[in-house]
Structure 1
């Protein structure tokens, strides 16, 4: 978090004084033909980023719930009022140079306001803010070798209160043919990839007050690098109990599974604490399975490059982490299990409620103790990831810096709302792509979003999805191919992967998830 500033919205007139510095940085670069040409100065390529032009919105393209408002203290802003399936989106296509670095900046007021850029030819950046004060959101990206234009966008989120946006800029090399849309040559003064906190203002959508002296916290969405390992992961839950599915040792789990989640740890009488014991009924079905054999199997999976983690929760698992004491107990006990069995991390599958504040505290403590290689996965129910205002979504975003992947359960839910406002039935491709889109637009990195599906019709009460449909959804999200009637407006080539409940049910069905979905994931670019 950056220190509060006197005002989060620097006047562009102040930046004009940096013209000489910008021009002084211009050196010589080699053009594609091999001849030398002057380097282009950094400019703001966004037009009407402060919404002070005569019609205030043009050339931005905005939804019907966006309007220009004139505030006595701040001047013209754009106000978005999300309603129904509309989240008050605005966008503008701007000209950029290939192989060049640009920094996006936007000043926003309101919870869950997002800003980003698409069509960069590389990793498309996005940032968001989760408090009601004024915040400056920034992120930096590099354009691809053939990229000549990108789309700058911002929006709110479903069901949230109205928000304000001002001072949107995209700073980088200009076209060299004409002045920048804002008419100012500048050097971007903001460190890349930061979301700075700033003095809070009135939460009223049409605030006319001056800045107060209190600082509002903000949440950084600057992405950390994806953890090492396969680009697209297959996660499978391994059942530490027998319920009719094929009983397995860890060594029996097919090699296609990159992450094995041991289900489940147990709650103890100590608030927030967990324990784990190999189930005697499972051991009996296997003709004996000792702790020593279990640990040896985990070590063998490690040697094969796989990750084995312990899962907390499930349908019947109630672990409450709702205060600092419980958070400390959770971290202490989970670390003890990791040390005892050789687990790589933990999976959060709490289906009886979660407290984002204290569970995040516990997980960050645990991650710090485990160190590099820590794996954190989650398997929320669909309702938990419908909105960034939900506790599970808040938990995922709060732990984004240590989060490996969220494998939402795309089953046992009936029909749900997709990111486009459409209502889709479970078991269909549209259900997978439409709901994944909510998480992808809501602030998670693409590699942190996975598709959780039942391994067979026996594995869940509803929502079974055939492996071919899962593969089609992965193709649609990653490359825009094999889509159903819903096709997202962009692609996410680094989509995280897929998950199944469970490796045991998959084995009983002949391993269709391991052989079909696993093979497809590992063949994806």
Structure 2
């Protein structure tokens, strides 16, 4: 399971503020295009020190999208704040510097999405079975923080009709420029097993036009980027377009389990994929704070090397 749900306690700050909304036409990256370098950002604090994502733009290294996580929808009756970002309400004081930095990232042309779900169960069961109660909570959170999109990381059983209802509602509420991505395990797109309970290939047949791209998890036994084989297995089926497949990798051996591929091997695979698939959709990294080869002092270097391999 890739998504950690517990984050180290943060230092106190100002009360979180919402990002200023941009009109759809002015949002950077409103439509998915080109090769993407997507960075997941869940660890906002390490050892009590805030981890800023601004290195992604300050060093001009080619990151195209950032996905902040993880958003959880909790029991309405049992929770004072039914929407949580990791362990706290999104307006908690600890998140004030993060929301400010995410506004700056968006202003610099890097769209910001919210990752919903992950390894912690419950959010998608609630969206599936109690849609009228829980979907408005998600919608209002996305509006309040003026996010550019949402990444649906369904790692629990959910019906096909349920996930399609969520996608339809998001597209109706936020318009064509809003990014809707999903994060299945790699085998879910190549005819194998998955963690979500529904058939991703059928989902794509039904709602492909509404899906911006897939962040396919190619690690933890669900695939690998040590070679091109698992991307080949998806694209050779002929259903998922090249530009809607983003290959997900671990950025550090400690992040989430097995299957880390070191940078020399990863960039070799990326270069081969770009030669074979001219419209290959890109690479995403789980996660930012300790990304190699820069580690915690310079985690943005991962995106720099991946971008160079994708575009060089």
Fold conserved (TM > 0.5)?
yes
Distance 1:375-1:246 versus aligned 2 partners, 3 A rule: farther
Residue 400 (1) aligns with residue 204 (2): no
Q: What pairs up with 1:125-164 in 2 under 5 angstroms?
A: none
TM-score, scaled relative to structure 1: 0.46
Residue 508 (1) aligns with residue 309 (2): no
SS in 2 for 1:505: coil
SS in 2 for 1:465: coil
Query: Which residue is 1:520 aligned to?
Result: 309
Residue 478 (1) aligns with residue 274 (2): yes
Please give the root-mean-square deviation of Cα atoms over the aligned residues, in Å: 3.4
Aligned residue pair count = 269
Residue 495 (1) aligns with residue 280 (2): yes
Q: 1: distance between equivalents of 2:113 and 2:166?
A: 16
In the TM superposition, residue 328 of structure 1 has moved relative to its aligned partner by: 4.0
Which has the greater radius of gyration? 1
Q: 2: distance between equivalents of 1:400 and 1:245?
A: 42
Match of 1:235 among 5, 16, 38: 38
Distance 1:459-1:244 versus aligned 2 partners, 3 A rule: farther
SS in 1 for 2:123: coil
Residue 261 (1) aligns with residue 41 (2): no
Does the aligned pair in 2 maintain the 1:247–1:282 contact within 8 Å? no
Query: Which residue is 1:156 aligned to?
Result: none
Higher helix content, 1 or 2: 2
Query: Which residue is 2:105 aligned to?
Result: 301
In the TM superposition, residue 349 of structure 1 has moved relative to its aligned partner by: 1.4
Query: Which residue is 2:26 aligned to?
Result: none
Does the aligned pair in 1 maintain the 2:225–2:269 contact within 8 Å? no
Residue 459 (1) aligns with residue 255 (2): yes
Q: 1: distance between equivalents of 2:259 and 2:147?
A: 30
Higher strand content, 1 or 2: 1
Q: 1: distance between equivalents of 2:241 and 2:105?
A: 27
Q: 2: distance between equivalents of 1:280 and 1:322?
A: 19
SS in 2 for 1:299: helix
Distance 1:498-1:397 versus aligned 2 partners, 3 A rule: farther
Does the aligned pair in 1 maintain the 2:31–2:179 contact within 8 Å? no
Q: What pairs up with 1:265-280 in 2 under 5 angstroms?
A: 265-270=71-76, 275-277=83-85
1:17-48 residue CA offsets vs partner (Å, 9 max, x unmatched): xxxxxxxxxxxxxxxxxxxxxxxxxxxxxxxx
Residue 437 (1) aligns with residue 240 (2): no
Gaps of 5+ in 1: 1-225, 417-425, 481-491
Does the aligned pair in 1 maintain the 2:70–2:85 contact within 8 Å? no
Gaps of 5+ in 2: 1-28
In the TM superposition, residue 464 of structure 1 has moved relative to its aligned partner by: 0.6
Q: 2: distance between equivalents of 1:245 and 1:465?
A: 29
Q: Which moved more, 1:323-332 or 1:505-514?
A: 323-332
Residue 251 (1) aligns with residue 54 (2): yes
Query: Which residue is 1:337 aligned to?
Result: 141
1:154-208 residue CA offsets vs partner (Å, 9 max, x unmatched): xxxxxxxxxxxxxxxxxxxxxxxxxxxxxxxxxxxxxxxxxxxxxxxxxxxxxxx
Q: Which moved more, 1:386-395 or 1:362-371?
A: 386-395
Query: Which residue is 2:7 aligned to?
Result: none
Distance 1:461-1:388 versus aligned 2 partners, 3 A rule: closer
Q: 2: distance between equivalents of 1:326 and 1:281?
A: 21
Distance 1:243-1:314 versus aligned 2 partners, 3 A rule: farther
